[in-house]
Amino acid sequence: MNACSVIIVNYNTGQLLKQAVDAVLSNTGINEIILVDNHSKDGSMELVNESNRLKKYYRKINHGFASSCNYGAKLATQDNLLFLNPDCIVKKNTIIELTSDLNKFTNIGIVGCRVNNPDGTEQRASRRRLPTLWRAIKTFSKIEKLAKYCQCFMGVNLIHLPMPKRCQKVEAISGALIMIKTHVFNGINGFDESFPMHFEDLDLFKRTADMGYGIVFNPNVEVVHHQGTSSKSNPKVGEMKKQGLQRYFHKHCSKFSYLLVKLLR
């Protein structure tokens, strides 16, 4: 089975960073964790236990999530890459199961899993579709909640639909945990660093699909994501989300859609 390099980008994640790294180390067959710190000031890196499987890298300024993911990927040595948020806690067999899923098929480029809130409920972005103007309108207006009654109301998120019993192809997964084949990641030139924060994952999924590779969601593998831990220390998150949305529509959608999104948001 092809091995996996785990890449974690940290920014002021506190005690959760240690939990995330310890959880990864408990997984079978993991011999490379690349931990990139975006100039944290909360002492979180010092809380992480040392390990011969863990490599720490400190950046002198906060280069942003996409840039530091690419930085970590260039240091990776394995056939698969797992980009894991520093506040996302995996279970003991998570990584080996997802690696197996990813390498079953040559036409699959990315695999993800069910991402839960700490209370055990499925997180909103756990399984998704790629944004279009109409889908975005239904999501931001919250009409998509009615999708459990009629699929015509589906927006970007698929959380309102019944959980599938087995792996299925989707257009997008949660950005909290992304496992991707290294040659696919390199083939699309990694994350687009022009996204300041948010939507860089959806852009990655779109470009992966454009290359002809599918994305698989495994509902039987679960992780816990303490969403927004790093964002709490960044007062510009709201504005960066807006910029990310506009950047995505400018890059992948019609000019009319982009202008309307820019006007409405």
The tens digit of pLDDT for each residue in 27-61 reads: 988 989 999 999 999 999 999 999 999 999 999 99
**What is the pLDDT of the chain when averaged over all its residues?**
93
Q: Choose which CATH entry (3.90.1010.10, 3.40.50.1360, 3.40.5.50, 3.90.550.10) describes domain 4-122+167-232.
A: 3.90.550.10
Measured CA to CA, the distance from residue 56 to residue 106 in angstroms comes to 32
pLDDT of residue 31: 86
Nearest alpha-carbon partner for 113 in 147, 100, 265, 31: 100
pLDDT of residue 229: 66
Measured CA to CA, the distance from residue 135 to residue 160 in angstroms comes to 14
pLDDT of residue 238: 79
Nearest alpha-carbon partner for 252 in 191, 215, 202: 202
pLDDT of residue 231: 57
Q: What is the pTM of this model?
A: 0.94
Model pLDDT for residues 56-76, shown as the tens digit of each residue: 999 999 999 999 999 999 999
- Sequence-ordered list of residues with C-beta below 8 angstroms from that of 193, at least 6 positions apart, any chain: 64, 66, 67, 70
Domain residues of the chain, as ranges? 4-122+167-232, 129-162, 235-265
